[in-house]
Amino acid sequence: MANIIDGKAVSAQVKEDIRVETEKLKAQGIEIGLAVVIVGNDPASQVYVRNKEKACETVGFNSYKYALPEETTEQELLALVDKLNNDDKVDGILVQLPLPKHLDDKIIINNIRPDKDVDAFHPVNVGKIMIGDYSFLPCTPAGVMELIKSTGTEIAGKECVVIGRSNIVGKPQAMLLLHQSGTVTICHSKTKDLKAVTSRADILVAAVGRAKMITADYVKQGAVVIDVGMNRDENGKLCGDVDFESVKDKASYITPVPGGVGPMTIAMLMKNTLTAGKDHHGVK
């Protein structure tokens, strides 16, 4: 039976470190602020936004929520982004995705000031991640890296396989593993013989979006298995991309869903917001 990586515990520690640092900044008169913008009534997005507000409260940031109606125009949303870009109380701006269909995510993200883009989605920040010279961490992949670190596993020289090549998870994940000198392979829907590739992995990260697709026969004995997936199973229950029950007896470490990668994403968002705030106030 694998060791189960406790994402809740690791994320609680990350947030506690941020809370302590935020308290010290407050004592110097410095406050950190995160603006969260949500457009429309998507229930999943509302839960994510609530969780982000709660996390701000936990670490001691000011959070400013802007809930806009579904019919908000691009011009109106860009005007709000512009206002937040120029608001000194706001260190980080997060526009909750996906936006309603009539709004273009790319146009909105590209208008957030890169030094306030705490999701690290702006092309400037994406480029910085590529060259390994970044201040903002891509939240979910950075959370995965913290979880791997918590196992004490050395990444350098290891076979690392990432399943998924999205701009939000797969690609930046591969970059972070590469920066740590892993030998990295990225798989996707056109990969031939996925099992043969994933079975080589000492570290396997699944970011596919297909419930329980990765069964034990995709996994090398003793691998570290990180499950980014957030899916619903046939009973409507939250589950990952990894078939936990079959893989847990083959992996050395495995993340559960829920309670694995999910809590880390928000913790990393808090870390980026702290970084932005310190930068804006000239704190080293």
Binding site for ligand NDP (CB under 6 A): 140, 163-166, 168-170, 187-191, 194, 207-210, 228-231, 261-262, 265
Residue of 119, 202, 241, 243 with catalytic role: 119
Burial track 206-238 (b if 16+ CB lie within 10 A, e otherwise)? bbbeebbbbeeebbbeebbbbbbbbbeeeeeee
CA distance 241 to 72: 35
CA distance 93 to 237: 32
185 DSSP β-pair partners: 161
Q: Which two tokens stand for residue 254?
A: 């495995």
Nearer to ligand NDP, 128 or 165 (CB): 165
Nearer to ligand NDP, 84 or 211 (CB): 211
Active site residue 119: yes
Nearer to ligand NDP, 194 or 216 (CB): 194
Least spacing, CB of residue 94 vs ligand NDP, in Å: 13
Residue 152 · residue 129 · CB < 8 Å:
no
Least spacing, CB of residue 171 vs ligand NDP, in Å: 9
Least spacing, CB of residue 158 vs ligand NDP, in Å: 21
Residue of 96, 158, 173, 278 with catalytic role: 96
Residue closest to ligand NDP (Cβ): 166
Active site residue 52: yes
Q: Which two tokens stand for residue 214?
A: 């990765």
| Catalytic residue IDs | 52, 96, 119
